[in-house]
Amino acid sequence: MTEYVKLIIGDKTYQFPVVTGSEGEKAIDISNLRQMTGYITLDPGFVNTGSCESAITYMDGEKGILRYRGIPIEELAEHSTFREVAYLLINGVLPTYKEINRFSVMLNDHSLVHEDMRKFFENFPRASHPMGILSSMVTTLISFYPYLESTEEEINMTVTRLISKVRTLAAISYKISRGHNVVYPRHDFSYCANFLNMMFDSPVKPYQIDEDIVRALNVFLILHADHEQNCSTSAVRVVGSARVNPYATVSAGIAALWGPLHGGANQEVIKMLYDIKERGATVKQMIEKAKDKNDPFRLMGFGHRVYKTYDPRAKIMKKMCDKVLEKLEKPDPLLDIAKDLEEAALNDEYFISHHLYPNVDFYSGIILRAIGIPTNMFTVMFAMGRLPGWIAQWRESMEDPKWKITRPRQIYMGPKKTEYTPIQERK
């Protein structure tokens, strides 16, 4: 039996159906609100607005739950690989041996990028941010690899190209920014091992693959693979709603991710920790600064728009961070500061009452530093991880029978009708 919500405007009563998700989430379907009443809703930041129905990712911010296609993130981080998670997100099910082997072969077959693309890389100014380069180059891919949508096989080929080539483009952008020769992908390496080798191998110092580091990178990418309708994913869906090709759609996601309040947050955490270290400030002093309403300082890596408890990804990242640092025998003073900040915040009533718990960005920057990833590449790493989620969201929206081009309304607050004044009469 359908549940309804009543809306009373003046002497008229309207009914709107309640939609219930598979995990019990409830939403009021107001898709006919303006048609029925002449009213629209006002919801800055879309905090209370569901933009779509989706079967990809489930989050419960109050309970600290994150699942991909129903599978808890803790289990995927413990047992899976990034390739397998990418397949799961895009196709809806975990792959069989045959399916993952075919997917792996396709990733290898499409890992090279056209040699002419190197000319674009080489003509970017050396100071260019890697995210700007990556966004531009992903859009450029369609010139070399046109998007064909006539068959399922062709769509799968485009999807696989994106996942494979974005990894290669990211590594190339790093190498060229340092003035080093480009390292090509190898057929005998896994997805993450290939990326690390393309990043750090050189003729004078061959890169030695460490399976623990490969595992750490897998976990990092898995934890970032999707996160419901966040800023960049919403950008992908909005752009994709115009039936834009997946290259341009993903490029839009990369541009949105670039922001310091979204994908750039882990980079901001490192900057904050480094600043604390350089100033010689104590953890107690920084906690008090963060609590001072008149002080613009804020602790980066604490709190989350959705999670009102400990970010489940942060717990996993913290364990992996400790393991990697112990393996590499690289004591990091920034990690010591981070741990002290975390302990102090988790025992401070102000942080507890305001739900300011550590999020995934708090530890991800430390682990990337330990692996050797430069700070300006942190957001690129985030983009690599989020790519399967963007593709899954784009694909789901393309197949949605309720599809509509995204076109939000607004409440106009400007001047009323004003007569045009000729320029010679203007004061």
* C-alpha span between 255 and 135 (Å, rounded): 6
User: Three-state SS for 96?
Assistant: coil
Task: Give 333-401 as a 3 state SS string.
Answer: HHHHHHHHHHHHHHCCHHHHHCCCCECHHHHHHHHHHHHCCCHHHHHHHHHHHHHHHHHHHHHHHHCCC
CA angle, residues 332, 196, 366, in degrees to nearest 5: 20
Is the CB of residue 369 less than 8 Å from the CB of residue 270? yes
Sheet hosting strand 4-9, strand order edge to edge: 4-9, 12-20, 26-28
CA angle, residues 272, 273, 277, in degrees to nearest 5: 115
Q: At what angle do helices 130-144 and 378-398 cross, to 10 degrees?
A: 40
Q: Which among 246, 220, 231 is positioned nearest to 159, based on CA atoms?
A: 246
With b meaning 16 or more CB within 10 Å and e meaning fewer, what string describes 165-182?
Answer: bbbbbbbbbbbbbeeeeb
Residue 188 is given by DSSP the state T
Is the CB of residue 314 less than 8 Å from the CB of residue 363? yes
* C-alpha span between 60 and 228 (Å, rounded): 11
Q: Do strands 4-9 and 26-28 pair parallel, antiparallel, or not at all (unpaired)? A: unpaired
Distance of CA 53 to the CA centre of its chain: 19
Residue 292 annotated to the active site? no
Residue 304 annotated to the active site? yes
* C-alpha span between 298 and 176 (Å, rounded): 35
Beta strand ranges found along 216-329 (DSSP E): none
- Catalytic residue selected from 187, 304, 336, 355: 304
In degrees to the nearest 10, what's the CA dihedral of 395, 304, 375, 364? -90
* Residues catalogued as catalytic: 304, 361
